[in-house]
Structure 1
């Protein structure tokens, strides 16, 4: 149930199709640790790199991966989901992420800080 989740895996439903996004969702669901919800997103502006998949959690860096096409990519996303879940701030270096995602990382955005400005 999504109410119990604090981590989110986003799948673009426009890159290929909603049916393709549903197939990815089904393939990834069993690989995710507890606390994740999968959400379909209309577009994440990664159109040149279909299919795009993102990771979000409050207080953590956010990631966007593209060119997700193979079972090896899906396994790497599952491994990254576990790594991301256990990280306190979500920040990982390219060399720390699963090798299959090395050239598929489209963006890493720092966590949102809502505290006072220094």
Structure 2
């Protein structure tokens, strides 16, 4: 994990297992901005849409994507990571995200400001 990480890509290790999560981690690691760290996590409640992947950073909206399974999905996640990094508040509209993620967005949670306000 990069020492200066302030953005996180979360990969669910539950529904599809840690082997799938590890394969996804290997496939995307070199494509992410340097500020990202990848974390394997237990269930993110996307069990009906495996494999699920989340994006998280302080003071930014958070995202959960599901049904991540192809090389095209991985490229779209990497493109979104750059977009997410460059966004001040993490907010993106569905039509602004990579097209491969359009039907794979499971949730967008509003940002929580450092002072605890949404």
* TM-score after normalising by structure 1: 0.95
Note the 1:35-54 alignment, pairs <5 A: 35-54=35-54
CA deviation string 1:8-29 (max 9, x = no partner): 0000001201011000000010
| Matched-pair contact (CA < 8 Å) for 2:7–2:85 | yes
Matches within 5 A, 1:1-118: 1-115=1-115
Q: Does the 8 Å contact 2:2/2:34 carry over to 1?
A: no
Aligned CA distance change for structure 1 residues 17 and 116 (closer, same or farther; 3 Å):
closer
Runs of 4+ deviating beyond 4 Å: none
Q: Which runs of 5+ in 1 are unaligned?
A: none
Deviation at 1:115, TM superposition (A): 3.3
1:93 is displaced (CA, Å) by 0.1
**Contact conserved, 2:58 with 2:114, CA < 8 A, in 1?**
no
Write the distance in 1 (CA, Å) between the matches of 2:99 and 2:30: 21
- Classify the secondary structure of the residue corresponding to 2:31: coil
* SS across alignment from 1:3: coil
List runs of 5+ in structure 2 lacking aligned partners.
none
CA RMSD of aligned residues (A): 1.3
Return the alpha-carbon distance in structure 2 between the equivalents of residues 112 and 23 of structure 1. Answer: 31
